[in-house]
């Protein structure tokens, strides 16, 4: 081993091939050729190191054997020629050797390996090369003699086998020899930090979540439903009783039905995707075919059930031909019958929404306007438990991957994630909205959920975090009434007051479409870097930064002040009263009024 | 109709159906099957007639017979309101012995309780709900492990598909595979030639044969045996190796000695059992002795011994080593002697040693060694020893005291009483049961009657004790001069102030003086200077003690750096501590404890030193650019001239004043770089419990620049992978290996199941 390693030596010494007039234009490092002149002998005392750039040049030069000088007098001319070749921009494959590592500002180029030398220090090497070559020529001219030829010098050289670094075909992966010894990489952490910083910045740069707006409704969109089998199909019900079916890929409406008079209160698809149900203000439950009527046929529901009271919500069972409606009570319906199989009630208030558990399908959850959430067991036709919160819950959504977890969207700007076995304390309180939360839907992966709020924004919360990771809003989006996360977990739809359905990316900066493997690797790496350095103040600040409309922003400030005041008051009260007389209630428990058995 | 009959009827009815009595309303109907007599039939008839007109009840109530309460219907609509008690009914049957079975049944009925009122509807619903809830939550709990698994999974790929089929065994793959390339063929040829198995039972024929040769159990046993043997062997080897490696000479000496002892024992045994063999052994030993005598092995004539001999003049160890060798030689060359003689000698010495009390020896050792803790324990030891001596005499003494009416002065007894007093304070718990009978009276007595003499006596005693120590010391070391002892002996009173002086603290001294005022002793008026004078006068006399006393004086002076110095009681003898303990034992104990805990700690000085170091370290350093040998002669032992050095020394600029310059008890680190701080994590992030953990996660690079391709891929696997365009369905019980509930989710209380079947048919049409 030599020290300093070749790439650390100055290019003047190492990167210059010692040319001799008799040697080939670009093959100066063969021993027999190199030992031609005495001056060269003196110089070749240094071991010579071949950089890939040189080897590349060498390879290129081979088709021109005729350039070999015929006589010493030709040498200067060829020297110039060699100058030209040296000054040529580096070859494509030479440059590409560096692709493995992202080029970042701090990376000291050419420090690591021979392959790196080519990247940025090549320019310097070229210049030096040029000077050297000329100088070498001059010397050679003066001392050119047969006597010089006769002298034999022992030359020490490093020789490299091209097999080790030249790939057989261009389809092979580039060999990038590296020494992974940590002692040689003292700046790992700073470099990764910078990369993480860049990744975070780029994420913010590319965060363009809004994809499309589907317009066509003539009143506020009141409810949304996903097609269970088809990703591209979405159903929506509006406040004027109109139901529309949309194609997301084409971003247009494919069918319009005037389903009810007054609001369409609820819409749900059958588990097989052949039909869907709607409930409206006209006290009817209607079942519709998913496919449109034939040419000339009238648009008619498959079944219509006329009830005694208004139904405010509907949900279909995940496996069987049963659906549930809510209104005065929770009714379980058989699809084929006009009377409910059973009705379950607990208390006397209107129930705003009912949802089937997607995993343990006999479970139902509902929320009523008397601030409670009630769970039912369909098999035993009995309510199970009731939890009363501070304010009314608008809707709930079950986690599709965790059977006993559900999240409730509450009027008090918060969302509460409950474990249904222990209702007295929510698992997590999600707070970021500044107005009533109207709807919530889980990502099909069960890791996140999206919530729609009256504050004209939707937010994405990780299940295990109390703060949102993302907030979406546009200038024109009004109170968001309903929201759905598509079944491939990539998109989010929201329907709002101003008659539009909007399509968002679930991951704001994600690149859509097919990724190459390298893109994928880079994406994963960046993601990991962001995770790794997420606690660093700069990165954290950039990652958390969001632009918010003034209304929301000022509301947040206000909320913060109010919260702080409340907290201070509580602290003061504790401080100035007898120890233990003022109980310290955790944030989680604060919002649960009671659990009724 | 008399009472007996009714009872009989009742009993009969019970015989027929064993239902609880209160519910058994239609008694009369059952009676038809029973035996019938005229009266009964008549009764029945009456009944039938009365029931015809429908005013049955009223009629019953109207009946004015005495047997109203025990009517067959056993209910009276308007009776006195009394409850019918079974005992009432049983009373009449008691006499008849033939109805034993009936009685038994009735008793059984008696034990049954009255059915309680049904709960109200809400309550019932609540119970239903609770039961349903507990059932449901039980059902849900089966998901716990799956959810936990998913949460902890390194990677989750959605949609959650079924698990990949297991990799087929190689044989299956091989069955459809043929060697095609020449290399493959060659390999197969080789394999076949060597009869290597290609497919399933991966055994060569030889292996098979060997397997068949031995039965399984046999082979197992054999193997186990071999294993055991091997294990034992390796164990012994390891032990031997370890022993061999031990460098301690002492250990080897001990081992050798042990071996010799063992040999001797064996020899003894042999002598008893087999004299001839013993004789042979003896010869062997004799021979060894002769060999030793012939050799010059242990006669200080070797190279080593000679070198030691030179050193021996100055080096005590060397001398010792030589002596040891000589002793060994002597031992080896000595003829075997009768064991008893030597034993006797040893016994004699032991007795001598025993004559010297144990306590004294220990104290002496303490005097030598400066370790206060040892000393502490030792003083307590002495006390304990003293007390242990005492208790034997105690009871009788106490008795003496009681009989001798207290006022009597008996010096010896007094001493002992005093001793006992402080010992009692010291370790009351220990000997409370021992002293219980004798102590209270005697101690009180002493306190009352001779409280004044106590101190004086104590002083005398301590003096004596001290003398004893010294004399022992002198005896033991045999260095002390006789006149010194003589001078000391006649003047115990003189020594007293000295003893007082010796107490470690001024406070105690003053207190003693205060106490001394009450004393009738003459030296209470002795002023302190005089005491000191006495001391100074004494010091030349007491040669070995002098420096110690000086030290003590210093300690008295140095009391203010209490923390830094070692505890001043290093050398004080038992007596002063005793006095002190009499005064304020608890306080002392406390202090002692603190002292022990912080022994050798000087926090302030340490801090100052630390701060000085920190300041030094933070000062900018001068840069010396002198090149030795440049412009003048250089070489080993030559230094560049002062002028040169001055010329090439770049003085570091004086830095800004330190922030803690005027804060003597604060170190403010000025290392913190504000610019870097902006990029540093200020608070330990949540899941981490120690900053090391966090730093470690940061320091592990994940990029491909520092990791191999495989590691890079592994490090950057995303936690959740979703495939675009794939619908992710909710998790299903079947997916994770649970059985989904076979029952339909439909409510239990479906009204007509027929409809459902039709529904299912229709559903298919849909």
When pLDDT is averaged across residues A267-290 and rounded to a whole number, the result is 94
Three-state SS for B235? helix
Render pLDDT for A526-558 as a digit per residue (tens, 0 to 9). 999 999 999 999 999 999 999 999 999 999 999
Contacts of A420 in chain B (CB under 8 A): 137, 140
Residues of chain B contacting residue A188, judged by C-beta atoms under 8 Å apart: 699, 701, 703, 706
Question: The dihedral of CA B554, B558, B559, B564: what is its sign?
Answer: negative
pLDDT for B208 beyond 90? no
In angstroms, rounded to a whole number, what is the distance separating the alpha carbons of residues A278 and A222? 12
Q: Do B750 and A359 touch (CB under 8 A)?
A: no
CB contact under 8 A, B141 and A101: no
Chains A, B: CB contacts within 8 A come to 198
- What's the CA gap between B118 and B344, in Å, rounded? 100
Kindly report, residue by residue over B365-401, the tens digit of the pLDDT: 444 444 445 444 444 444 444 444 444 444 444 444 4
pLDDT of residue B364: 43
pLDDT at A559: 94
Kind plus residue range of the DSSP H or E element containing A493: strand A491-496
Domain ranges of chain A: 210-508
Task: Closest CB to B727: pick one of A180, A231, A375.
Answer: A231
Q: How far does the CA of residue A560 sit from the closest CA of chain B (Å)?
A: 22
Please give the CATH number for the structural domain made up of A210-508.
2.130.10.10
Measured between alpha carbons, how far is B127 from A80 in angstroms, rounded to an integer?
102
The pLDDT assigned to B575 comes to 44
The pLDDT value recorded for residue B461 is 55
Interface-testing mutation among A364, A404, A463, with chain B (most B C-beta atoms within 10 A): A404
If you measure CA to CA, which chain A residue comes closest to B709?
Answer: A100
* Residue A51, pLDDT above cutoff 80: no
In this prediction, residue B460 carries a pLDDT of: 57
E strand spans, A29-186: none
pTM, rounded to two decimals: 0.52
pLDDT of residue B47: 79
Residue B599: per-residue pLDDT: 77
Rounded Cα distance, A288 and A301, in Å? 5
To the nearest whole Å, the CA of A597 is away from the closest chain B CA by 6
CA distance B452 to B455: 6
- Percent of chain B past pLDDT 70, that is, above it, reads 51
8 Å CB contact of A362 and B741: yes
Report which of residues B458 and B212 the model is more confident about: B212
Contacts of B602 (CB under 8 A, 6+ apart): B561, B563, B564
Q: Chain A residues with CB inside 8 Å of B694's CB?
A: 535
Residue B602 burial class via C-beta count within 10 angstroms: exposed 0-12, middle 13-18, buried 19 and up: middle
Query: By C-alpha distance, which of A425, A591, A446, A450 is closest to A508?
Result: A450
For B405, the token pair is 């009416």
Q: Which single residue is written with the structure tokens 């994963």? A: A524
Q: What was the pLDDT predicted at B587?
A: 84
Distance from CA of A400 to the nearest CA of B (A): 5
Q: Which residues of A touch B156 (CB under 8 A)?
A: 445
Q: Give the residue-averaged pLDDT of B508-517.
A: 48
Instruction: Indicate yes or no: CB of B699 within 8 angstroms of CB of A188.
Output: yes
Beta bridge partners of A256: A244
pLDDT at A367 over 80: yes
Inspect the interface and report whether the beta carbons of A359 and B143 lie closer than 8 Å: yes
Q: Rounded to a whole number, what is the distance in Å from the CA of B755 to chain A's nearest CA?
A: 9
- DSSP of B250-309, one letter per residue? HHHHHHHHHHHHHHHHHHHHHHHH-HHHHHHHHHHHHHHHHHHHHS-TTTT-SHHHHHHH
With a cut of 60, say whether residue B512 has pLDDT above it: no
Contact B706 A100 (CB under 8 A): no
Model confidence band, residue B466 (pLDDT cutoffs 50, 70, 90): low
B707 with A180: Cβ contact below 8 A: yes
**Cα angle: A281, vertex A284, A286; to 5 degrees:** 120
Which pLDDT belongs to residue B452? 47
Contact: A195, B685; criterion CB under 8 Å: no
Burial class of residue A359 in the structure, from the number of CB atoms within 10 Å of its CB (0-12 exposed, 13-18 middle, 19+ buried):
buried
As a whole number, mean pLDDT of residues A344-353 equals: 88
Bridge partners of A266?
A279
SS3 (DSSP) at A259 = coil
- Flag if A524 and B717 touch (Cβ within 8 Å): yes
A398 → chain B, closest CA residue: B730
> What is the 3-state secondary structure of A434-463?
CCCEEEEEECCCCCEEEEEECCCCEEEEEC
Q: Do A227 and A247 form a contact (C-beta atoms < 8 A)? A: no
Closest to B445 in 3D by CA, of B488, B424, B414: B414
Q: Please give the backbone phi and psi of residue A211, each rounded to the nearest 5 degrees, phi first.
A: -110, -50
A486-509 pLDDT, tens digit each: 999 999 999 999 999 999 999 999
Contacts of B746 in chain A (CB under 8 A): 320, 322, 334, 341, 378-379
**Mean of pLDDT values over A562-569:** 95
Give residue-wise pLDDT tens across range A212-246: 999 999 999 999 999 999 999 999 999 999 999 99
Q: Give residue A16's pLDDT.
A: 39
Q: Which of A324, A372, A325 is nearest to A347 (CA)?
A: A372
The whole-angstrom distance between B706's CA and the closest CA on chain A is 6
Q: Please name the residues in contact with A248: beta carbons below 8 A apart, sequence gap of 6 or more.
A: A212, A231, A232, A233, A234, A486, A491, A503
Facing residue for B702 by CB, picked from A361, A447, A532:
A532
A538:B130 CB<8 A: no
Q: How far is B684 from chain A (nearest CA, A)?
A: 9
- Judge whether residue B621 has pLDDT over 70: yes
Minimal Cα–Cα distance from B621 to chain A, Å? 26
More confident residue, B705 or B500: B705
Q: B292, B293, B267: which is closest to B280 by C-alpha?
A: B267
User: Would you say residue B602 has pLDDT above 60?
Assistant: yes
Q: List residues bridging with A280 in a β-sheet.
A: A264
Contacts of B745 in chain A (CB under 8 A): 317, 319-320, 322, 361-362, 378-379
Range in A185-189, A344-348, B36-40, B169-173 with the lowest mean pLDDT: B169-173
Question: Which of A243, A249, A205 is CA-nearest to residue A222?
Answer: A243
Our CA-based measurement puts residue A341 at a distance from the nearest CA of chain B, in whole angstroms, of 6
Instruction: Name residue, tokens 């923390």.
Output: B563
Q: Select the more confidently predicted residue: B527 or A332.
A: A332
Contacts A375 to B, Cβ<8 Å: 133
């Amino acid at each position: 081993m030599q020290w300093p390693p070749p790439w650390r030596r100055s290019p003047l010494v190492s990167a210059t091939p010692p040319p001799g007039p008799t040697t080939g234009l670009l093959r100066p490092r063969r021993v027999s050729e190199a030992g031609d002149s005495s001056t060269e002998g003196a110089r070749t005392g240094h071991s010579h190191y071949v950089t890939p750039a040189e080897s590349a040049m060498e390879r290129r030069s081979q088709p021109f054997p005729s350039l070999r000088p015929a006589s010493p007098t030709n040498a200067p001319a060829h020297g110039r020629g060699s100058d030209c070749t040296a000054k040529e921009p580096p070859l494509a494959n030479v440059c590409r050797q560096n692709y493995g590592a992202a080029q970042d500002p701090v990376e000291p180029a050419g420090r690591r390996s021979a392959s790196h030398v080519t990247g940025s220090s090549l320019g310097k090497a070229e210049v030096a090369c040029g000077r050297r070559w000329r100088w070498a020529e001059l010397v050679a001219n003066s001392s050119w003699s047969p006597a010089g030829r006769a002298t034999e010098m022992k030359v020490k050289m490093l020789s490299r086998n091209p097999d080790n670094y030249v790939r057989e075909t261009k389809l092979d992966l580039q060999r990038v020899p590296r020494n992974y010894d940590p002692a040689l990489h003292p700046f790992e952490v700073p470099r990764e930090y910078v990369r993480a910083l860049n990744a975070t910045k780029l994420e913010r740069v590319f965060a363009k979540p809004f994809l499309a707006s589907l317009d066509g409704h003539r009143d506020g969109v009141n409810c949304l439903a996903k097609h269970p089998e088809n990703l591209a199909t979405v159903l929506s019900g509006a406040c004027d009783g109109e139901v529309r079916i949309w194609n997301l890929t084409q971003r247009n409406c494919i069918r319009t039905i005037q389903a009810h008079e007054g609001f369409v209160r609820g819409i749900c698809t059958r588990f097989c995707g052949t039909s869907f149900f709607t409930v409206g203000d006209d006290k009817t439950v209607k079942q519709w075919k998913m496919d449109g009527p034939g040419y000339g046929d009238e648009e008619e529901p498959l079944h219509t059930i006329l009830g005694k009271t208004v139904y405010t919500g509907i949900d279909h069972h995940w496996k069987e031909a049963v659906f549930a409606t809510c209104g005065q009570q929770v009714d379980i319906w058989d699809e084929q019958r006009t009377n409910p199989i059973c009705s379950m009630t607990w208390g006397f208030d209107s129930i705003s929404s009912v949802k089937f558990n997607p995993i343990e399908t006999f479970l139902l959850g509902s929320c009523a306007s008397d601030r409670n959430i009630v769970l039912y067991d369909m098999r035993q036709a009995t309510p199970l438990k009731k939890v009363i919160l501070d304010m009314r819950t608008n809707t709930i959504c079950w986690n599709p991957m965790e059977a006993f977890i559900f999240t409730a969207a509450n009027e008090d700007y918060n969302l509460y994630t409950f474990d249904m076995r222990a209702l007295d304390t929510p698992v997590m309180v999600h707070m970021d909205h500044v107005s009533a939360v109207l709807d919530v839907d889980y990502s099909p992966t069960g890791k996140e959920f999206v919530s729609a709020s009256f504050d004209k924004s939707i937010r994405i919360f990780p299940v295990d975090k109390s703060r949102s990771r993302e907030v979406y809003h546009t200038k024109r989006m009004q109170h968001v009434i309903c929201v759905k996360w598509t079944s491939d977990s990539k998109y989010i739809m929201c329907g709002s007051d101003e008659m539009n359905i909007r399509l968002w990316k679930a991951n704001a900066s994600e690149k859509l479409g097919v990724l190459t493997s390298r893109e994928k690797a880079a994406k994963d790496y960046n993601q990991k870097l962001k995770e790794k350095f997420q606690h660093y103040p700069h990165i954290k600040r950039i990652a958390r930064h969001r632009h918010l409309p003034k209304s929301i922003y000022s509301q947040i400030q206000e909320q913060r002040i109010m919260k702080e005041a409340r907290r201070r008051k509580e602290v003061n009260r504790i401080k100035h009263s007898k120890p233990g007389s003022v109980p310290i209630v955790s944030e989680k428990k604060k919002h649960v009024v009671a659990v009724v058995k | 109709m008399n009472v007996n009959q009714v009872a009989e009827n009742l009993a009969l009815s019970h015989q027929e159906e064993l239902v609880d009595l209160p519910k058994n309303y239609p008694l009369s109907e059952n009676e038809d099957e029973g035996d019938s007599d005229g009266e009964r039939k008549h009764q029945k008839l009456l009944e039938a007639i009365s029931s015809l007109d429908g005013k049955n009840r009223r009629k019953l109530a109207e009946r004015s017979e005495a047997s109203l309460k025990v009517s067959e219907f056993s209910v009276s609509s308007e009776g006195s309101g009394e409850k019918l008690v079974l005992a009432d009914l049983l009373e009449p049957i008691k006499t008849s012995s033939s109805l034993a079975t009936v009685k038994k049944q009735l008793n059984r009925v008696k034990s049954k309780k009255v059915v309680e009122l049904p709960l109200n509807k809400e309550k019932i619903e609540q119970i239903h709900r609770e039961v349903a809830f507990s059932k449901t939550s039980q059902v849900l709990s089966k998901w716990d492990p799956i959810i936990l698994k998913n949460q902890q999974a390194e990677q989750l790929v959605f949609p959650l598909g079924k698990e990949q089929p297991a990799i087929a065994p190689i044989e299956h793959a091989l069955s459809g595979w043929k060697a095609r390339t020449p290399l493959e063929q060659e390999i197969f040829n080789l394999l076949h030639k060597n009869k290597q198995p290609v497919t399933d039972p991966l055994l060569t024929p030889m292996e098979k044969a060997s397997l068949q040769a031995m039965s399984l159990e046999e082979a197992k046993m054999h193997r186990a045996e071999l294993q055991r043997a091997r294990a034992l062997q390796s164990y012994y080897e390891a032990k031997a190796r370890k022993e061999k490696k031990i460098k301690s000479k002492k250990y080897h000496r001990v081992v050798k000695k042990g071996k010799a002892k063992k040999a001797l024992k064996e020899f003894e045994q042999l002598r008893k059992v087999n004299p001839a063999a013993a004789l042979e052994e003896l010869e062997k030993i004799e021979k060894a002795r002769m060999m030793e005598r012939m050799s010059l092995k242990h006669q200080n004539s070797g190279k080593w011994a000679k070198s030691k001999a030179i050193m021996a003049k100055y080096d005590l160890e060397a001398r010792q080593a030589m002596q040891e060798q000589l002793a060994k030689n002597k031992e080896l060359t000595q003829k075997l002697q009768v064991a008893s003689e030597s034993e006797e000698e040893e016994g004699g010495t032991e007795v001598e040693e025993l004559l010297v009390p144990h306590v004294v020896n220990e104290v002496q050792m303490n005097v030598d060694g400066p370790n206060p803790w040892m000393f502490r324990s030792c003083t307590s030891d002495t006390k304990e020893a003293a007390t242990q001596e005492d208790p034997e005499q105690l009871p009788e003494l106490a008795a003496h005291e009681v009989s001798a009416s207290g006022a009597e002065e008996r010096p010896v007894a007094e001493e002992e009483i005093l001793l006992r007093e402080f010992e009692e304070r010291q370790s009351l718990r220990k000997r409370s049961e021992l002293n219980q009978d004798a102590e209270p009276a005697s101690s009180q007595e002493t306190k009352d009657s001779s409280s004044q003499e106590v101190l004086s006596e104590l002083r005398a005693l301590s003096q004596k004790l001290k003398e004893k120590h010294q004399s022992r010391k002198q005896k033991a070391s045999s260095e002390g001069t006789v006149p010194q002892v003589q001078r000391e002996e006649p003047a115990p009173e003189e020594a007293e102030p000295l003893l007082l002086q010796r107490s470690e603290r001024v406070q105690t001294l003053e207190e003693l003086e205060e106490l001394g005022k009450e004393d009738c002793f003459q030296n209470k008026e002795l002023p302190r200077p005089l005491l000191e004078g006495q001391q100074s006068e004494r010091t030349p006399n007491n040669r070995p003690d002098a420096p110690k006393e000086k030290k003590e004086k210093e300690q008295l002076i140095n009391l203010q750096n209490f923390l830094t110095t070692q505890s001043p009681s290093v050398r004080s003898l038992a007596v002063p501590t005793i006095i002190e303990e009499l005064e304020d034992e608890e306080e002392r104990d406390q202090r002692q404890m603190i002292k022990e805990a912080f022994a050798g700690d000087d926090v302030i000085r340490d801090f100052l030193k630390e701060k000085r170091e920190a300041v030094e370290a933070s000062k900018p350093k001068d840069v010396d650019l002198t090149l030795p040998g440049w412009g003048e002669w250089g070489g080993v032992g030559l230094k560049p001239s002062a002028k040169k050095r001055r010329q090439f020394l770049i003085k570091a600029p004086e830095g800004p004043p330190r922030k803690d310059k005027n804060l003597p008890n604060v170190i403010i680190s000025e290392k913190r770089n504000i610019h870097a701080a902006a990029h540093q994590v200020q608070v330990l992030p949540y899941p981490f419990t120690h900053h090391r953990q966090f730093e470690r996660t940061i320091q592990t690079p994940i990029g491909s620049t520092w990791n191999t391709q495989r590691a890079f891929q592994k490090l950057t696997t995303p936690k959740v992978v979703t495939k675009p365009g794939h619908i992710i369905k909710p998790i299903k019980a079947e997916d994770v290996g649970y059985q989904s509930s076979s029952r339909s989710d439909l409510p239990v209380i479906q009204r007509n199941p027929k409809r459902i079947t039709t529904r299912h048919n229709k559903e298919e049409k849909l």
